[in-house]
Amino acid sequence: EHLKMLIDKLKKEQALTKEEWVELIEGRNAELAEYLFALAREERHHYYDHDVYVRGLIEFTNYCKNDCLYCGIRKSNSNAKRYRLSEEDILSCCGTGYELGFRTFVLQGGEDGFYTDEKLVHIISRIKELYPDCALTLSIGEKSRESYQAYYDAGADRYLLRHETANAAHYAKLHPASLSAANRQQCLWDLKDIGYQVGTGFMVGSPYQTAEHLAEDLLFIKKLNPHMIGIGPFIPHHDTPFADEKAGTLELTLFMLGLLRLMLPKVLLPATTALGTIHPKGRELGIQAGANVVMPNLSPVSVRKDYSLYDNKICTGDEAAECRFCLERRMKSIGYNIVTSRGDSLNI
């Protein structure tokens, strides 16, 4: 009953203290989760009705100069088969996506120096020229403020950069010494300041993660007040130092989605591919816990399986149209509708 009262307080005040977050996360059980999800759905329906926004994900390079310990495309993974899409390839993905009703494209990739700012600005301008009614999201990691500004001036609207974990010591256990939580977070503040619609997020159940860390993630996100929050379970990749670590659970990921919906009722919250990978109905359950976005894959099938961040990733053999219609069916099956609009965030 005490925990239910904490959830009521969260709904009312859209905030809790660190101690209260930890209490909720550690004390959670199935009944409490159902209580949380019902309230989360109420908020979701109030702001976004039964609409589900779609974003067409284009994974344009799997080269990466970084060496994140969890990630299958880390530079030390010599078994990764590397690829890059040309500007023409990327534009052709957008064309396919546009025909399928996508009005948001997400360009995601490793931190690949081949794509200089000049090349990126060119690609961004071309996409915005050809598809002026579409929103363009970048997810290409940590860059200088000047670079972020150049992409924004070229027409990029949104930027996804998960903070991964707000706790600096935990961050250091997941990343090489060249990367820091402080720099990652500074990038997010810069992006916001420039005027991007910003998405952050974290992995659930990453190695060494505690309830305190998750509480710190929630506090950081509250402070950042982003437009979007991408969370998904950590899933081990066999060619990384974390090959033998346990995956994050469906249950905790759903619980965190519910908490996020109550903390930032108007935020965009995707039911991620990783969630769909650990459970056949993961994305549907994510929507029912408060999520309101899905991100089907638009990458060419020829490179799909090579963008392998974690093992057993779903959709790697499916054409863009198949993913699009598969998700439409899945959302309909639980009473939700995919809508083809830009789907801007109400959390501004």
Contact between 52 and ligand FES (CB under 6 A)? no
Interatomic CA distance for residues 133 and 229, integer angstroms: 23
Amino acid letter, 285: L
Contact region with ligand FES (CB under 6 A), list: 59-67, 116-124, 255-263, 337-345 = 59-67
Handedness of CA 9, 14, 15, 16 (dihedral sign): positive
Nearest alpha-carbon partner for 344 in 224, 226, 227, 199: 227
**107 touches ligand FES by CB under 6 A:** no
- Is the distance from CB of 233 to CB of 247 less than 8 angstroms? yes
Does residue 297 belong to the site contacting ligand SAM (CB under 6 A)?
no
| CB distance 275 to 290 below 8 Å | no
Look at strands 56-61 and 135-139 and give their pairing: unpaired
Task: Compose the 188-227 pattern: x for residues touching ligand SAM by CB under 6 A, - for all others.
Answer: ---------------x------------------------
Give min distance, CB of 150 to ligand SAM, in A.
18
Q: Which amino acid is at 334?
A: I
308 binds ligand SAM, rule: CB under 6 A: no
229 binds ligand SAM (CB under 6 A): no
How near is the Cβ of 145 to ligand SAM at its closest, in Å? 16
Between CA 196 and CA 126 the distance in angstroms is 19
Which range, of 39-47, 107-115, 151-159, 217-225, touches ligand SAM by CB under 6 A? 107-115
Cα–Cα dist 211/226, whole Å? 22
Backbone angles phi, psi at 271, to 5 degrees: -90, 105
Distance of closest approach, residue 123 Cβ to ligand SAM, in angstroms: 16
Binding residues for ligand SAM, rule: CB under 6 A, are 70-71, 108, 110-111, 139-141, 161-162, 164, 203, 232, 234-235, 237, 274, 309-310
Binding residues for ligand FES, rule: CB under 6 A, are 64, 66-68, 71, 73-74, 110-111, 141
